[in-house]
Amino acid sequence: MDEEGGRLSLPDGPLSGGCQCGAVRFRADRLGEAAHLCHCRQCQKAAGNLFAALIGVDPAALTWTRGKPATFHSSVEVARGFCAACGTPLFWRSADGIGLMLGAFDRAGEIPVGWQSDGYGRHPALGPLAHLRDTFTEDRGPNPSDRQHPDRDT
């Protein structure tokens, strides 16, 4: 749900994604409701960032199409998946289900973020984030020196 109580629109059809180097790829045939930002300390450390952006996926709707992720049990209840070759974080899994890292999707910009969790851990810099100067306001396209796998299945 969005802030006004309306349902957020998710992209149709299966969505693909994977790690930065392309060794691990996945297809999600359907997504949960909306992505969320988790500010807990475990997610901060697992993402190497100020929060983790995740979206729930029914495990039956998830297929690993290339390679298999490595896992690390960050707690008794939670396993976190990543690419063993390049280190890209890929998922969070518990008995309640699996959440894929939003940034691992090829078309991540089409997936709405609808809520946040564990706000007690929110980094103070995130409050004024919308007001910070943006130095890159347009996509400059691929960099020929990048070793990053393209945002599509190959």
Model confidence at 31: pLDDT above 50 = yes
The token pair at 80 is 């976190």
What pTM did the predictor assign?
0.82
Written as one string, the DSSP assignment of 86-112 is: T--EEEEEETTEEEEEGGGBTTGGGSP
Mean pLDDT within 49-74: 95
Q: Angle at Cα 94 formed by Cα 15 and Cα 149, nearest 5°?
A: 35
Q: Which domains does the chain have, with CATH numbers?
A: 15-121 (2.170.150.70)
Give pLDDT, residue 130.
59
Q: What is the pLDDT of residues 77-122, one digit of tens each?
A: 999 999 999 999 999 999 989 999 999 999 999 999 988 888 888 8
Kindly report the number of other CB atoms within 10 A of residue 39's CB atom: 19
Average pLDDT over residues 122-127: 83
- For residue 153, give both structure tokens: 């299945």
Give the pLDDT of residue 7. 60
Query: Higher pLDDT residue, 133 or 71?
Result: 71
CB 125 within 8 Å of CB 111: no
Higher pLDDT, 139 or 153: 153
Angle 13-14-18 from CA coordinates, rounded to 5°: 150
Q: Give residue 90's pLDDT.
A: 98
